[in-house]
Amino acid sequence: MEHADHSGLPFWQEVWTIFSDPAHILAELGWTIIQDVILVWLLYGTLWKKVILPKLHEKFDKEHAIEHHDHEVDYEVKPEK
């Protein structure tokens, strides 16, 4: 495998060479997918919001004797007479 030798290039030319390198673009795309999909969507969106946070909320409510009554509210819109 041949490695690109960037020594001796002016700074901005070296930056452009790295920026436009297909291997570098694919590597960045791969890391973006890993970070956005796995870390943000899966861990935060699913694990934290759907599993951990509800358990912490329930524990906090029990410790502080908090009762939620919003599930008993009738949200049906009744027509005016």
> CA-CA distance, 38 to 2, in Å (whole number)?
32
Reading the block at residue 49, the tokens are 């919001």
More confident residue, 21 or 1: 21
- What is the signed CA dihedral for 21, 26, 31, 35, rounded to 10 degrees? 120
Reading the block at residue 71, the tokens are 């599930």
Q: How confident is the model at residue 1 (pLDDT cuts 50, 70, 90)?
A: very low
Instruction: Find how far residue 29's CA is from the centre of its chain.
Output: 15
Q: Which residue ranges make up each domain of the chain?
A: 37-62
**Under 8 Å CB-to-CB from 17, ≥6 apart: which residues?**
4, 6, 9
How many C-beta neighbours within 10 Å does residue 53 have? 11
Mean pLDDT over all residues of the chain? 83
pLDDT at 74: 56
Structure confidence by residue, pLDDT tens digits, 20-51:
999 999 999 999 998 888 888 888 888 888 88
